[in-house]
Amino acid sequence: MISFIGGIVLLVLGYVLYSQLIVKNFGVETERETPAYVLEDGSDFIPMAESKNWLIQLLNIAGTGPIFGPIMGALYGPVAFIWIVIGNIFAGAVHDYYLGMISLRNNGAHLPALAGKYLGKPMKHVVNIFASLLLLLVGTVFVTSPASLLANLTPAFMNNWFWVVIIFIYYFLSTMLPIDKIIGRIYPIFGAILLLSCIGVLITLFTSGNIANVPELNLQNMHPDGVSIIPGIFFTISCGAMSGFHATQSPIISRTIQKEGQGRWVFYGAMITEGVIAMIWAAAAMALFDRVDLSALIKAGTASAAVSEIALTLLGSVGGTIAILGVIVLPITSGDTAFRSLRMIIADYINLNQKPFKNRFAISFPIFAMSTALMFIDFNILWRYFNWANQTTAVIALFVSTAYLIYKSANYWVTLIPGVFMLYMVILYLLTEKIGFGLEMQLSYYLSAAITAVILVVFIIYVRKTKEALTKDSLLINDHLPIKAIYPELLSNN
């Protein structure tokens, strides 16, 4: 119980204290015009209130990840709390804030364009593939998981495929229509359901006395199947700690923020909130289940079965149903913006204006056709590939942020350290897991370190040479967009 409460307190302190350092390091310009005003188009670039942006950002980034992931992470024991707290404060929230703010400084550009600008133009093509793959997987996964939960709550004729069709229709509309027409209007309702369900689970954990069952903090691996903590936990718990998917979502909100000073609450604050959600569900899983029973339940019906059991046990039939609806809200409000973000990334890549409805349709229709085909692939296979693509994207976003800070002559260690750490884990995961090479763990430790070192050296050499060239040619400018002359197409008002 103390480790759980302490973790929540540390998350709050992370926002109060560490986020100030992160914001100061970026160099916010409170009076600078934002893309929402400069590029307002009635579709994607629309000024919205800080509270609405925060809520949309929270619901965008909080798919099933901060619930399913922590529940599966609970199998490792209270060591899961360590990764959620440290990962969130020093990696995840930093990742979300810098990527969102750098996008804002680049007219709402998405990750592929930012990677091309700050890491070299070839990276734009590489990252475009990664980001597109990730978003397609996210959108597909976040159709299947809410559909299965809804099917369990409704009459038999409303089976899994019935809800798949309904969710797809909603996703298509939310991808096509202006952001303030559907997403901006219904997200406050979704947000209320989500927050009330989390508060309900938290309160009943204490009032029922089940909170006493949460183990106190230790570094012991309690996983009943003997799955290694390294690298397992860093891919099991992504949303809530650090997730590359967020790098595809923050640019959506960078196009609707009214002032740069709002970024701290909208980007960093939303991630801290997601960390609190992750802590609550991880604690609930530890409190109510023996890890052997939890493992069996997850294997029998994915983490959604554990969600239903936790909600109904703690809150009863009525409250539990509301809580389950809160969980359903999360993947739906990430799936819709996953497809929307994918549309915007493709449009940016091929330079297709998205103001005309027909242009949005021309990109959206093939996206949903491909997602429909992926529906026939086993969920667990999709999830494994999503895990790796997700954290690889996070590494790219952190290295983009590091390059930006180096060009700006700011403190780049705040992004480089978590970036190198996760780079090592991504390589280790690829070397040891089934989706990769399946090598022996001990050998993989050394190989991962060597590959990480090579990539780091190449990155440092490239960035330093680029900065030297820019300084020599007097291209380091006051608004911290140092490669304006190289990629002017990204910038129209900077």
Q: What are the tens digits of pLDDT across the range 414-442?
A: 999 999 999 999 999 999 987 667 889 99
Q: Name the residue ranges covered by the structural domains of the chain.
A: 2-395
User: Rounded distance, CA 4 to CA 351, Å?
Assistant: 48
Query: Is the model's pLDDT at 488 over the cut of 60?
Result: no
209-215: long-range contacts at Cβ-Cβ below 8 A with a sequence spacing of 24 or more?
Answer: 210/284, 210/287, 210/288, 210/314, 211/1, 211/4, 211/283, 211/287, 212/1, 212/287, 213/286, 213/287, 213/288, 214/1, 214/3, 214/4, 214/78, 214/283, 214/286, 214/287, 215/3, 215/77, 215/78, 215/286
Which pLDDT tens digit goes with each residue over 18-63? 999 999 999 999 888 999 999 988 878 999 999 989 988 988 787 6
* Average pLDDT of the segment spanning 265-277: 96
CA dihedral 162, 167, 173, 175 (to 10 degrees): -140
* Average pLDDT of the segment spanning 133-154: 80
Q: 2-395 — its CATH code?
A: 1.20.1740.10
Give the global pTM: 0.86
Which pLDDT tens digit goes with each residue over 284-323? 999 988 888 888 877 765 666 787 788 888 878 777 777 7
Of 227, 203, 201, whose CA–CA distance to 77 is shortest? Answer: 227
